[in-house]
Amino acid sequence: MIDEQLLRYSRQILLPDFGITGQERLRAASALVVGVGGLGSPVAMYLAAAGIGRLVLIDADTVDLSNLQRQIIHSSARIGHPKVASARDALAALNPEVDVVARREHLDEQTLPEAVADVDLVLDCCDNFTTRFAVNAACMAAGVPLVSGAVIRLEGQVTAFPGRPGGPCYQCLYPREGALDETCTANGVLAPVVGIIGCIQATEAIKILAGLGDPLFGRLLLLDAALMHWREVRLRTDPDCPICSAAAHQHGGAACKTAPAGLGAD
């Protein structure tokens, strides 16, 4: 590591459990950010600032004036630009050492497996259940860890999955049937609440990639920012989850444990 890098990352290299080894691991790592909106903004900025090696950004949208209240990686000058291009420019200014790959496209069940298999970790920063389920299935199939966040109004939630067969996975938490999207467009959202959840996603990603601390695997954090109250819920494998059983079958691992579906007691 050259002197300039030692200086740039000195404050986290100072951390006893991180050190040069953690920094080298982070530099050798790659992550996919699905959606460069309210959650993807702090996620991409913190991962780039912290020195991740490669960051793949996927989003099909362009920057709109109504995004700027919370999507802080974008700026007024870049209204009308593709979000991934706007984000790539912001990240290049923040830390030119990071290899940023900007993909302006919709992910679907065809393109996702290839995108997921190409990285060490995935951050779900999207805004709809269809993409969330597809991202989860691709991560479980590829055995890639997933850090998932969601925010609406003044409520947020964040959790992580190791991508190992046997679950739990995102679909154990939300069965596919009956999952209805609530959008920030229709319901509103308080900007810094998105930042809080995105910052936790970035923290968990760095922990997992650098081998620091205990990841949020199998635990769901729920935030009610109106009361500034946090709740932690233990996740359980849904024995009927088709994604977990497919992953267990594919990886030759144990079948899902027989535990009650969905949320456990906190």
Is the CB of 52 or the CB of 220 nearer to Zn ion? 220
The order of strands in the sheet holding 146-152 is 99-103, 54-58, 30-34, 121-124, 146-152, 155-161, 219-224, 229-234
Distance separating alpha carbons of residues 113 and 202, to the nearest angstrom: 22
Scanning residues 228 to 257, which ones bind Zn ion (CB under 5 A)?
A: 241, 243-244
Binding range to Zn ion, per CB under 5 A, among 13-21, 105-113, 114-122, 171-179 = 171-179
Binding range to Zn ion, per CB under 5 A, among 40-48, 73-81, 170-178, 210-218 = 170-178
Kindly state the helix (H) or strand (E) to which residue 156 belongs, with its residue range.
Answer: strand 155-161
Is the CB of 225 or the CB of 259 nearer to Zn ion? 259
Binding mask 128-167 for Zn ion (x = CB under 5 A): ---------------------------------------x
Task: Please pick, from the candidates 172, 184, 200, 205, the single residue that binds Zn ion as defined by CB under 5 A.
Answer: 172
Is the CB of 126 or the CB of 243 nearer to Zn ion? 243
CA distances from 236 to 122, 125, 204, 230 (A): 21, 22, 20, 19
Q: Which residue is nearest to Zn ion (CB)?
A: 241
Query: How many residues belong to the site for Zn ion (CB under 5 A)?
Result: 7
Distance separating alpha carbons of residues 206 and 200, to the nearest angstrom: 10
Task: Please pick, from the candidates 12, 171, 201, 203, the single residue that binds Zn ion as defined by CB under 5 A.
Answer: 171
Is the CB of 162 or the CB of 195 nearer to Zn ion? 162
Is the CB of 76 or the CB of 258 nearer to Zn ion? 258
* E-state strands within 190-235: 219-224, 229-234
**Least separation, in Å, of the C-beta of 189 and Zn ion?**
27
Which residue's structure tokens are 């590591």? Answer: 1
Which residue's structure tokens are 């913190």? Answer: 46
* E-state strands within 17-90: 30-34, 54-58
Is the CB of 167 or the CB of 198 nearer to Zn ion? 167
169 binds Zn ion (CB under 5 A): yes
Distance separating alpha carbons of residues 88 and 114, to the nearest angstrom: 21
The binding site for Zn ion (CB under 5 A) comprises: 167, 169, 171-172, 241, 243-244
